[in-house]
Amino acid sequence: MKIAFFSTKPYDKDFFERYNTIHQFNFYEVALNEQSVRLAEGVDVVCVFVNDKLNAQVIDSLQKLGVQLIALRCAGFNNVDLVAAKNADMRVVRVPAYSPYAVAEHALALIMALNRKTHKAYNRVREGNFSLEKLTGFDLYHKTVGVVGTGKIGGVFARIMSGLGCKILAYDKFQDETLIKAGVSYVSFEELLVQSDIISLHCPLTADTRHLINAQALAQMKKGVMLINTSRGALIDTQAVVEALKNKTVGYLGIDVYEQEENIFFNDLSEEILQDDTLARLMTFPNVLITSHQGFLTEEALTQIAITTLQNISDFADKKLLINEVK
């Protein structure tokens, strides 16, 4: 099948070409939106990522261009208007689990770096400053870690933190019996907020979870809590968390996602003036660590993304059951 890839980076081209045997590829660096949708003319499939916009207008244009399938090379699908896709008789597939270890381990990396101030120590030593002042951290051992969302990524994260000797509290509408047997305690969302020293978000972005972490939720947290988000940016009300950082309710913030990351993350803006005042404000806090949606970026994850996406497309072409279809 002919496939148009949008929001393409060099690693996308590398891994998809490595595992392709039958499909024809067109790679575009631009994101898919109302202006770029014309690039999908003459293809059967569009392959998209987290910041591509597939609203009703784009999907209508794709249908008129003859596109038959939307293939997400990610787990999340909040950027796709599923009702519009259904009305256009256009099917949507995704990669539900490429490597839960990649994202879970990145969450741990954010925790460790924030706690032990590794990023600050690195910069100091590079400048010849070997002082230990203001680099004091804390033992993770016996700390209470709240895990919001215990799907595949959240489950792996819970086990990692349990292995470090942490007490694990979890909140999810669907409880995982294997995690309960491993010592994880499921509690209400409010109880998790109140008791946790560290809170890590691992749930999808839906209408119900948008701004799950808002001013009310932040007010219930322990003073000096560490908040980690490697899931979707809009789970956090960024303006509210800025205020919580200012009044020291949030003692540490580690984010790999940001609710206004479109047109910022994945791009080199080092020679430009950052136009997002909220992100610029976040970057001024010494207790905030931001990475630009790199949690998925491991060899294993990129391999699985390419293999699963190509299999999804081949199954569609062969009229087989689409086991990773989003409905």
Domain range summary for the chain, segments of one domain joined by +: 2-98+299-326, 100-290
Chain mean pLDDT for the chain: 96
**Mean pLDDT value across residues 161-174:** 97
Give the catalytic positions in this structure: 232, 261, 293
Question: Mean pLDDT lowest for which of 173-182, 263-272, 301-310, 317-326?
Answer: 263-272
User: What tokens appear for 285 in the block?
Assistant: 């806090």
Alpha helix (H) residue ranges in the chain: 10-19, 56-65, 82-87, 100-116, 118-126, 152-163, 177-181, 189-195, 215-220, 238-246, 277-282, 299-317
Question: Which residue has better confidence, 121 or 327?
Answer: 121
Under CATH, which number does the domain 2-98+299-326 receive? Answer: 3.40.50.720
Does the pLDDT value for residue 182 go beyond 90?
A: yes
Q: How many CA atoms lie within 13 A of 304 on its CB side?
A: 17
Please indicate whether the domains covering 2-98+299-326 and 100-290 agree at the CATH topology level: yes
pLDDT at 97: 81
User: How far separated are the first and last CA of the chain, in Å rounded?
Assistant: 22
Q: For residues 141 and 248, what is the distance between their CA atoms, to the nearest angstrom?
A: 23
**Mean pLDDT value across residues 192-203:** 98
**Mean pLDDT value across residues 137-142:** 98
Strands 91-93 and 325-326: antiparallel
Question: Which of 255, 248, 246 lies closest to 199 in space, CA to CA?
Answer: 255
The alpha carbons of the chain give a radius of gyration, in whole angstroms, of: 21
The model's pTM = 0.91
Pick the CATH number of 100-290 from 3.40.50.300, 3.40.50.720, 3.40.1280.10, 3.20.20.70: 3.40.50.720
Is there a contact between 119 and 307 (Cβ–Cβ < 8 Å)? no
Which residue carries 């990692």 as its tokens? 160
300-313 residue pLDDT tens:
999 999 999 999 99
Does the pLDDT value for residue 244 go beyond 90?
A: yes
